[in-house]
Amino acid sequence: MSDQLNVERTLYGFWLSPYMCQVAHVLSETGLAYQYERVSPFQGSTLTPEHIERNPLGKIPTLREVNGIDISESHAICRYLARIYPEVRKFYPIDDPMLCAEVDAKNDFITFSIAGPFFNWFVVSGYFPKAWKLKIEKEAHIYNLFSVLLSKLWLSRLVSHP
């Protein structure tokens, strides 16, 4: 295992973002220690000077790696982790270009055809928080349900190979 396996890094994002959840699942499934710091687009925290310094586009997720560098964009974060930590290669097999292409194709399909349009329409547009009268204290429960859905339905299918 990597020397920095148990050294904590920080994942900045919002629990409802499928992009942040993808990075969180890769970190969790591979045993890479991290702490979660909530940066909510609904509360304007993606536009704070602190977050803009981490991510000039004001997007989530952003990963502050153990060496202090900040990495943005979920797929870029996961590819970076696979290049640095052998534990992550089961999710992104950098040594096999064909498998990388397969993972990239599935990631792109989920991002651009499913999660992206759904997330932008239903969540970012404000319908989800208003329709469900979402309160901050409900986040943990909903996050748990959403995480189970992602890990059981998407993540396992994405990385399963015969």
The string of pLDDT tens digits covering residues 17-45 is 888 988 999 999 999 999 999 998 878 88
pLDDT digits (tens, 9 = 90+) for 1-16: 445 556 789 999 998 8
* Among the listed residues 87, 88, 84, the one whose alpha carbon sits nearest the alpha carbon of residue 103: 88
Q: What is the model's pTM?
A: 0.69
Domain with 13, as residue range(s), is 9-159
Is the peptide bond preceding residue 61 cis, with omega within 30 degrees of 0?
yes
* Among the listed residues 112, 108, 125, 161, the one whose alpha carbon sits nearest the alpha carbon of residue 16: 125
First to last CA, the chain: 25
Would 1 be classed as within a structural domain?
no
> What is the rounded CA–CA span in Å between residue 158 and residue 25?
12
Would 14 be classed as within a structural domain?
yes
Would 2 be classed as within a structural domain?
no
* Among the listed residues 111, 122, 117, the one whose alpha carbon sits nearest the alpha carbon of residue 74: 111
- How many domains in the chain? 1
CATH of the domain at 65: 3.40.30.10
pLDDT digits (tens, 9 = 90+) for 116-131: 666 665 555 555 555 5
Would 4 be classed as within a structural domain?
no
Residue 63 β-bridge partners? 11, 71
